[in-house]
A and B are shown apart, each in its own frame.
Chain A
Amino acid sequence: MNLHGTPLSIIIFALFVAAVLFLSFFFARKAKSAAGYYAAGGQIHWAVNGISFAGDYLSAASFLGICGMIATLGYDGFLYSIGYLAGWVVALFVVAEPMKRMGKFTFTDALDAKFDSRGIKLAAAISTLVVSICYLIPQMNGAGSLVEPLLGLPHWVGVILVGVIVIVIVSAAGMTSTTYVQFLKGGLLLIFSTILVGFVLARGLSTEPVGLDGGAPGGEMTVQATESQLQEQGYALLHTTGSLQKYARDGATSWWKREADGTLWRAQWTSDGVVNGVAGGVLEPVGRLRQIGGMSDAQAAAGTGAVGPLAFLAHLTHPETRVEQWQKQAVTDEKGAKYAVYTPKTVSGTDEMKPGVKFKVHTTTEKLNFVSLMLALFFGTAALPHILIRYYTVPSPACARKSTIVAIASIGFFYVLTLFLGLGAAVNGTVNPADNNMSAPLLAMSFGGVLFAVISAIAFATVLGTVAGLIVAASGAVAHDLMDRFGRMELTDRQKVRAGKLAAFAVGIVAIVLGIVFRGVNVSFLVGWAFAVAASANLPAILMLLFWKRTTAAGIVASIIVGIVSSLGIILTGPEMFAGPYGLTAEQAWHPLGQPGIISIPLSFLALIVVSLVTKNRRVAVEA
């Protein structure tokens, strides 16, 4: 697979970056005041704000992460699309207009509007920073994944590039430039994703897809053989671990997966920078249909030709359809060397198109994890600080409502497209088994260099738009909430803008470092955790402030702190962290829950209710 940038991709990328920077400097004069810097002067038209919402929200997690997850896991990835969109219902019906009425620059303003409490300012600012950083990590990680094929640069260069450009955008004109960057990116993402889905449907389905370089996906990596055939060809068995076997021939290592019937499938592997035996090599792209239900082998090989969207999904759902999915296994060989081995597995169309590959629901714990995830996605959107601050950029509560509806329409449409993009990648041999985040751009590559260059540049702009929004939110938390209001520094309007720019610089540096450290983790998965923290720390406080008159400042502070601590605590002591970053096994985790929402959201509500009841006399005293 050619993963080096072409002149065309570099030119289109450079044009995007130039356009983004031009917008930033064009609007710089509008951001001289604090209102201009933090809330775009409250002057943005609701339609522009609605598309900017889409630009802000449709992050690397949506475009890269969800498409990648659908490409490798089937329908389970689409659960994120459903949950992310459903969350906007909470934002529209419950949060949008009150947030606009009560707030000024940040979500902390709205929470603190009735109380003027330093505790709320501190707790809400910390919550904003924690959620924004959880959200920033996958965005920066996605940026690094993009520049590798787009520009032929290392992952860390992409992360630094995004960090530097976003710091420039935010420092130039704060929320004003961020809004128009997000508007541009949101519009382009919708248009070109629609075009890409059109190409996928026009190509149709086939068991012999085109792949990236005109050859079969996976190349010789999906060779099937028996043990005796391998021995006849000179392969020597060196090691067996589980269903995996390590062979050597002429000094070259290969890994094979043994099926129950004795068939061996050639696997792909990486070990200490060596990929399939090549130092610094690249894994072969994979993903194909093995069989199309209701069609003979010859018909399936010839392909369906152009299909409509429903027929595309119906073919894949057919019980006799067979889809190849790839799994990663960490193994150790006879010398103690560590390998990541990627092996194919064939699943039926029935299994591909229903929940259950990643989010299994057999045991009670699995069911709790599933419900917990869907709860966090549903309640997380309306609690994301970088989304909430967009309500202050429009002139009125009615505009906040209308912009949310534009957001629901555009974001909902995009999420429908993600199913076609992900499945399109899964059956067109455009999935990098080691990094599924690149599935959608690689799918575009299978239709030619121009579409790949444009889609990749848009994907890069996607990261820019979201990271810019996150950094505005985080810088507002530092400069407006912590320094000016909590610290009572009583900054002048000019000093507030200056403090915001310095905070943006600092947060940008933190984001760069974290983006490099967390390389390779699925971006949508990480964002799921950001949603869980937001839903636990912020939403109970927002809802109870709006609908329970006995809520006190202390209750809000308790709710935020309990929400942050419990959600992060459950994540950090859970199986995903033990099996992933800690390098241990899932069984060693303190508990089996991978998703915290089902525990941490009720805990946060409970903390608010109990503390508010205990401190109700203080509330009466303040009101008196």
Chain B
Amino acid sequence: MLHGPARPSGPDPASGYKTRLGVAMFIVYCIVYAGFVLTSVVAEGRAMQAIVFAGLNLAVVYGFGLIIFALLLALVYNHLCTRKERELSGAHDGKGAGA
């Protein structure tokens, strides 16, 4: 079982960057999600029945798209956050070593 030892989490120099990035990505996803909701509501949702890809209608393609887009954004977010954490933690360690 992956049940490792606890370790306290110290100050996080990347937290400001991560917060800004998270809010930006949240807004992007909100817009795409709102687009789905509005497309379902406007014109009594008739746009959703249009066949758009491989015999599938917009409702299915947009629905699957929202799920896949969430995962893609999450992976990008993690990549950028991890890179910044390493960058700042490396800079912090370097300063410490020099001092």
- A contact set with B: CB distance below 8 Å: 41-45, 47-48, 75, 78-79, 81-82, 85-86, 88-90, 92-94, 97-98, 100-101, 180, 310-311, 313-315, 317-318, 350, 353-356, 361-362, 367, 370-371, 374, 378, 395-398, 401-402, 404-405, 408-409, 412, 415-416, 419, 547
Report, nearest first, the 6 A-B pairs whose CB atoms are least far apart.
A314-B55, A45-B2, A93-B22, A93-B26, A396-B9, A354-B48
Q: Are B59 and A361 within 8 A (Cβ)?
A: no
Residues on A with C-beta less than 8 A from B26 are 89-90, 93-94
Is B99 part of the binding interface, using a Cβ–Cβ cutoff of 8 Å? no
Cβ–Cβ contact B57 & A353, under 8 A: yes
Within 8 Å CB of B68, what residues of A? 412
- Sampled A-B contacts (26; CB under 8 Å): A41-B6, A44-B3, A45-B4, A75-B59, A75-B63, A79-B63, A89-B33, A90-B26, A94-B23, A97-B12, A101-B9, A180-B1, A310-B55, A314-B54, A317-B57, A354-B45, A354-B49, A355-B40, A355-B59, A361-B40, A395-B4, A395-B7, A397-B9, A401-B77, A401-B81, A415-B67
Contact with A along B35-69 (1 / 0, CB 8 A): 01100110011001101001111011001101110
Q: Determine if A398 and B56 form an interchain contact, defined as CB atoms under 8 angstroms apart.
A: no
By the criterion CB–CB under 8 Å, are B70 and A89 in contact? yes
Contacts of A355 in B (CB 8 A): 40, 45, 48, 59
List of B residues within 8 angstroms of A374 by Cβ: 33, 36-37
A317 B60 Cβ-Cβ under 8 A: yes
Q: How far is the CB of A340 from chain B (nearest CB, A)?
A: 30
Q: Are A82 and B12 interface neighbours, CB within 8 A?
A: no
Please tell me if the beta carbons of B9 and A350 are within 8 angstroms of each other in the complex. no
- Contact indicator B12/A408 (Cβ below 8 Å): no
Q: Which residues of B contact A361 (CB under 8 A)?
A: 40-41, 44-45
Given known pairs A86-B29, A101-B12, the reply for A75 and B60 (CB within 8 Å) is yes
CA distance A315 to B54 in the complex (A): 10
Q: How far is the CA of A350 from the CA of B45 in the complex (A)?
A: 12
- Tally of A-B residue pairs with Cβ under 8 A? 149
Q: How far is the CA of A370 from the CA of B12 in the complex (A)?
A: 40
Given contacts A89-B74, A94-B26, A353-B59, contact A416 B67 (CB under 8 A): yes
Partner of B2, one of A42, A48, A409, A412: A48
In the complex, A353 Cα to B82 Cα: how many Å?
40
Tell me whether A404 and B74 are in contact (CB under 8 A).
yes
One of A354, A396, A398 near B82 (C-beta < 8 A): A398
Separation of A72 and B74 alpha carbons in the complex (Å)? 33
Bound complex: CA of A1 vs CA of B98, how far in Å?
77
Specify which of B4, B7, B23 lies most central, judged by the most chain A CB atoms within 10 Å of its CB.
B4
Q: Which residue of B lies closest to A398 (CB)?
A: B85
Kindly provide the distance from the CB of B85 to the nearest chain A CB, expressed in whole angstroms.
6
| Interface pair A416/B64, CB less than 8 Å apart | yes
- Residues of B near A416 (CB, < 8 A) are 64, 67
Q: Is the CB of A93 within 8 A of B67?
A: no
Q: Are B66 and A86 in contact (CB under 8 A)?
A: yes
Q: 1/0 per residue B1-24: CB within 8 Å of A?
A: 111111101001001001100110
Is B91 at the interface (CB under 8 A from chain A)? no
Residues on B with C-beta less than 8 A from A401 are 77-78, 81
Query: Which B residues lie within 8 Å of A311 (CB)?
Result: 55
Q: Check if B88 is an interface residue, CB within 8 A of chain A.
A: no
Bound together, the chains give a CA A405 to CA B45 distance in angstroms of: 32
Chain B hits for A405, CB < 8 A: 74-75, 77-78
Q: Is the interface of B mostly helix, strand, loop or mixed?
A: helix
* Residue pair A47, B56 in contact (C-beta under 8 Å): no
Among residues of B, the one whose C-beta sits closest to the C-beta of A371 is: B37
**Distance between A405 CB and nearest chain B CB, rounded to angstroms:** 5
Beyond the given A89-B26, A101-B9, could you list 7 further A-B residue pairs with CB under 8 A, ordered by the A residue number?
A: A43-B4, A82-B66, A92-B22, A93-B77, A350-B57, A371-B41, A405-B78
Residue in contact with A97 in the complex, picked from B3, B15, B41, B64, CB distance below 8 Å: B15
- Compute how far the CA of A114 lies from the CA of B42 in the bound complex, rounded to whole angstroms: 43
Q: How far is the CA of A196 from the CA of B2 in the complex (A)?
A: 29
A314 and B70 alpha carbons, distance in the complex (Å): 24
A395–B22 alpha-carbon span in the complex (Å): 21
Selected from B7, B49, B67, B73, the residue in CB contact (under 8 A) with A85 is B67
What are the residues of chain A within 8 A of B37 when measuring CB–CB? 370-371, 374
A395 — which chain B residues lie within 8 A by C-beta?
4, 6-7, 9
A354→B57 contact, CB < 8 A: yes
Question: Residue on B with the closest CB to A546?
Answer: B19
Q: B85's closest neighbor in chain A, by CB?
A: A398
Contact assessment for A45 and B3 in the assembled complex, using a CB-CB cutoff below 8 Å: yes
Known: A90-B26, A101-B12, A402-B78. A85 touches B70 (CB 8 A): yes
Q: Bound complex: CA of A373 vs CA of B33, how far in Å?
A: 13
Q: How near does chain A come to B46, taking the closest CB pair, in angstroms? A: 9
Whether B1 lies near A43 (C-beta < 8 A) is: no
A47–B67 CB distance below 8 A: no
Contacts of A45 in B (CB 8 A): 2-4
Given the known interface contacts A86-B29, A311-B55, the answer about A370 and B40 at a Cβ–Cβ threshold of 8 Å is yes
Determine the chain A residues whose CB is within 8 A of the CB of B29 once the complex forms. Answer: 86, 89, 93
Chain B positions within 8 Å of A371 at CB level: 37, 41
Asked if residues B22 and A43 are in contact (CB atoms below 8 Å), the reply is no
Q: Which residue of B lies closest to A308 (CB)?
A: B54
CB distance from A245 to the nearest CB of B (A): 32
- CB-CB under 8 A from A378, the residues of chain B are 33
Report the separation of the CA atoms of residues A64 and B2 in the bound assembly, to the nearest whole angstrom: 30
Taken together as a complex, chains A and B put the C-alpha atoms of A236 and B55 apart, in Å, by 47
Contact A82 B67 (CB under 8 A): yes
Q: How far, in Å, is B26 (CB) from chain A's closest CB? A: 4
Distance in Å from the Cβ of A371 to the closest Cβ of chain B? 6
How near does chain A come to B74, taking the closest CB pair, in angstroms?
5
CA distance A97 to B81 in the complex (A): 11
Residues A412 and B49 in contact, CB atoms below 8 Å apart: no
Return the chain B residue nearest A293 by Cβ: B55
A93 and B25 contact, CB distance less than 8 A: yes
Question: With A361-B44, A397-B12 given, is the CB distance from A93 to B23 under 8 Å?
Answer: yes
Note all chain B residues with C-beta closer than 8 A to A354: 45, 48-49, 57, 59
**In the complex the two chains form, is A313's CB within 8 Å of B60's CB?**
yes
